[in-house]
Amino acid sequence: MNKLSNRWHLLIASLPTSGATARMRLWRPIKALGCSPLRGGAYLLPDRPGHAETLAELAEQTNTEGGEAWLVTVDPRSEEDEQAFLARFDRTREYGEFLKLVVEAKKGLTSQAPTDIAKTLKKLTKERDAIEKIDFFPNEATLDANAAWGDFVEKANAILSPGEPQPHARDIQVLNAQDYQGRTWATRRRLWVDRVASAWLIRRFIDPTAQFLWLDNPADCPADALGFDFNDATFTHVGDKVTFEVLVASFQLPSTPGIERLSALVHSLDAGGEAPPEAAGFEAILTGARARLADDDAFLVEVGTILDSLLAHYNKET
């Protein structure tokens, strides 16, 4: 394998001296992309999917606004030059600052209210995602940050969602929905994203006459009930799939655009990862509905209507 394995883009931009608008319109996306600024208005970035197109758009924007910009592809002349390029994208400092925040947040877990923990978790998730997006060359600092972050998330979720299932390492069996009609399905009470979406999916696509039992403790699940979304339940997290996705796979539900996009929505809010644009709005609706409705049956009815609407929208939009 060629040691000089990375290709690089260099955006060279000269902006008008008057007015800060054009400068900010260039600087913000440059920073978000993770470019390394060089002297003389040059910005270096490794070649990754979409980078060339985005930089070309910024160059065109700069030219339109009265400046001058060129986008060129560069190759290091030697391994030393490439190492110098790579050093500019070492995110050890950013991860170090992030780790300090995680350590401080972890100290306050036992003394904070759940609402404050949720806010901290959301804020730190956003900061970590921003670093991860521009971490083009992961190193030891990446591994350290991932380990500390995983530990923090696990402890925070244990407080926010007692009994949250741990992923199982097992195969997902293909089942026939006709064998699961008129059953009692049980999960933890005080429904949230994965549980309420899974309950909706069960009644909507798998068992239309399903009866639900909301448990104070998963250990109280009756032997004849189908448990879901808790450890050792019949249907729970498997690998990187949340319970909603496991149910879709188990019963081979049609791979419609609506089901696929709902799966992505539920997964991002329950397990993290890239969130669709509507995720924040859906989470806000869930939070408001949960504050208004103490009864899980009423909560399921209300959120079920929203999920019906999202399903129709996704299918129609596509």
Give the per-residue pLDDT at 318: 58
Q: What is the mean pLDDT of residues 11-32?
A: 83
β-pairing verdict for 68-74 and 36-38: unpaired
pLDDT of residue 314: 94
The two structure tokens encoding residue 47: 């070649």
Q: Is residue 172 part of a domain?
A: no
pLDDT at 3 over 60: no
Is the separation of the CB atoms in 303 and 196 below 8 Å? yes
- Whether residue 170 lies inside any domain: the answer is no
State residue 290's pLDDT score: 86
Q: Are residues 67 and 127 in the same domain?
A: no
What pLDDT sits at residue 17? 67
The closest alpha carbon to 270, from 138, 167, 135, belongs to 167
97 and 60 assigned to the same domain = no
| pLDDT of 89 above 80 | yes
269 or 208: which carries more pLDDT confidence? 208
Same domain, 309 and 211: yes
The percentage of residues in the chain with a pLDDT greater than 70, rounded to a whole number, is: 96
Are 53 and 97 in a shared domain? Answer: no
Structural domains in the chain (count): 3
Q: Each residue of 159-200: pLDDT tens digit?
A: 777 666 777 778 899 999 999 999 999 999 889 999 999 999
| Last residue in a domain, options 160, 189, 213 | 160
Domain boundary among 36, 54, 87: 87
How far apart (Å, rounded) are the C-alpha atoms in residues 226 and 234? Answer: 6
User: With bands split at pLDDT 50, 70 and 90, how would you rate the model's confidence at 34?
Assistant: very high
Is the per-residue pLDDT at 66 higher than 50?
yes
> What is the spatial distance between Cα 316 and Cα 9, in angstroms, rounded to a whole number?
40
Q: What pLDDT sits at residue 74?
A: 92
Higher pLDDT, 163 or 104: 104
Write the pLDDT tens digit of every residue in 231-240.
Answer: 889 999 999 9
pLDDT mean across residues, the chain: 90
Distance, in Å, from the CA atom of 59 to the CA atom of 48, rounded to the nearest integer, reads 17
* pLDDT surpasses 70 at 146: yes
Domain presence at residue 308:
yes
3-state SS of the chain? CCCCCCCEEEEEEECCCCCCHHHHHHHHHHHHHCCEEECCCEEEEECCCCHHHHHHHHHHHHHHCCCEEEEEEECCCCHHHHHHHHHCCCCHHHHHHHHHHHHHHHHCCCCCCHHHHHHHHHHHHHHHHHHHHCCCCCCHHHHHHHHHHHHHHHHHHHHHCCCCCCCECCCCCCCCHHHHCCCEEEEECCCCHHHHHHHHHHHHHHCCCCEEEEECCHHHCCCCCEEECCCCCCECCECCECHHHHHHHHCCCCCCHHHHHHHHHHHHHHHCCCCCCCHHHHHHHHHHHHHHCCCHHHHHHHHHHHHHHHHHHHHHHC
pTM: 0.58
Q: Name, in order, each residue with C-beta under 8 angstroms of 187's C-beta and a sequence gap of 6 or more.
A: 195, 198, 199, 212, 213, 214, 215, 227, 228, 229, 230, 233
**Residue-number span of the structural domain to which 216 is assigned:** 177-317
| Pair (83, 97) in one structural domain | no
Both 219 and 120 in one domain: the answer is no
Q: Are residues 182 and 253 in the same domain?
A: yes
104 and 79, same domain (yes or no): no
Question: Would you say residue 166 lies in a domain?
Answer: no
Predicted confidence (pLDDT) at residue 1 exceeds the cutoff of 60? no
Model pLDDT, residue 2 = 42
- pLDDT at position 4 is 57
pLDDT band at residue 35, thresholds of 50, 70 and 90? Answer: very high
The answer on 195 and 126 residing in a single domain is no
Based on the fold, state whether residues 12 and 66 are members of the same structural domain: yes
Asked if residue 303 and residue 246 are part of one domain, the reply reads yes
Same domain? 74 vs 99:
no
68 versus 274: the higher-pLDDT residue is 68
Query: Residue 55 belongs to a domain with what CATH number?
Result: 3.30.70.260
Query: Does the pLDDT of residue 5 top 80, yes or no?
Result: no
Residue 21 has pLDDT above 80, yes or no: no
